[in-house]
Amino acid sequence: MQIQNAVSIKDFLDHELLNAIFTSAADLQSLPNDKLPPLLQNKIIACLFYEPSTRTRFSFETAVHRLGGDTISTENASEFSSTTKGESLEDTIRTLNEYVDGIVIRHPQIGAAEIAAGVSRVPIFNAGDGGGEHPTQALLDLYTIVQAKGSVDGLKVGLVGDLLYGRTIHSLIYLLSLYDVEISLIAPAQLRLPESYLSYLREHNIKFHILNNWDKVINNLDVIYMTRVQKERLAKASNYSKLKDVFRLDGSTLPKMKHDAVIMHPLPRVSEIAPEVDDDPRAIYFKQARNGLYVRMALLKMACSKK
């Protein structure tokens, strides 16, 4: 199966497509590095990052290299590209189209990846557009849930933290709505999920609860998905210190949780998960980060390798 781009999670709301991505990711994951197929030989992928990144950029780059391709990269595109000279995003993308076979872009503006895709002949991978979406993260999140829990139907999922600006949450909401799940939206009042996502959940008959603490649900959740307060997107910096520690999962939370629950986080974490939680078998956030490598390999394969 082929894909054109990975711009919005809305293009992935199809069980057959998800199955193809996850099967491919699992196949690639089962191979030792020296047995991975050179699917991207002679391909060059540009990583154009206008915002900081650790996992997304390194896992995309590693995925390309492991599949025999090459990357060219700028991790501070707003400073080190011709953007400083006033070049438009469209022209940057048009120019890169003359050199490369695919573009991974992270940008602070909602809709930037869509704008890029509008002028690009080569596949565009949205690595996060401001407080908008993060589709490849949501795909790896769902892959991790399926891997850990076997299936998604019937799960009680808690999404915790910054649901207003958390783009990983926004994309994941769409994916979860494909299944029979019950979602607890656990956030301070100032960081609630935007109305458009709530209406999407209603339209898809997803049972959800809006909560400002997890006391009544923590013992019943199968998946606890923690997020960081998006300091860089808050209108007032002073709000950050008030909000950053509202939810903190630590050693005292663990005994309250189901023995087979999983704790996820797109990372980076700040203080919302205490380091003492890392050794608990339910903490799977580093496994989740690793899974990003294989899901991104699968996406690169489906978009950029020979038909």
Footprint of ligand NCD on this chain (CB under 6 A)? Answer: 55-56, 128, 134, 137, 167-168, 228, 266-267
Beta strand pairing call for 70-74 and 102-107: unpaired
For ligand NCD, which residue has the nearest CB? 266
Shortest Å distance, C-beta 112 to ligand NCD: 13
Stated as kind and residue range, the H or E segment containing 61 is helix 55-66
User: For residue 16, which phi and psi values (nearest 5 degrees)?
Assistant: -65, -40
Q: Quick check: is 55 catalytic?
A: yes
Of 158 and 266, which CB lies nearer to ligand NCD in the complex structure? 266
Residue 43 near residue 273 (C-beta atoms within 8 A)? no
Q: Which is nearer to ligand NCD, 39 or 145 (CB)?
A: 145
- 236 tagged catalytic: no
Which CB atom, from 55 or from 301, has the smaller least distance to ligand NCD? 55
Q: Among this protein's residues, is 134 annotated catalytic?
A: yes
Go through the chain and tell me how many residues it has: 307
Shortest spacing between CB 168 and ligand NCD, in angstroms: 5
Considering 56, 71, 144, 227, which one is annotated as catalytic?
56
The CB-of-68 to ligand NCD minimum distance in angstroms stands at 25
Catalytic residue status for 85: yes
Q: Does an H or E element contain 116, and which?
A: helix 112-118
For residues 56 and 65, give the distance between their C-alpha atoms in angstroms, rounded to a whole number: 14
Tell me which H or E stretch contains 207.
Answer: strand 207-211
In whole angstroms, the minimum distance from the beta carbon of 95 to ligand NCD comes to 25
Backbone angles phi, psi at 227, to 5 degrees: -140, 160
Positions marked active-site = 55-56, 85, 106, 134
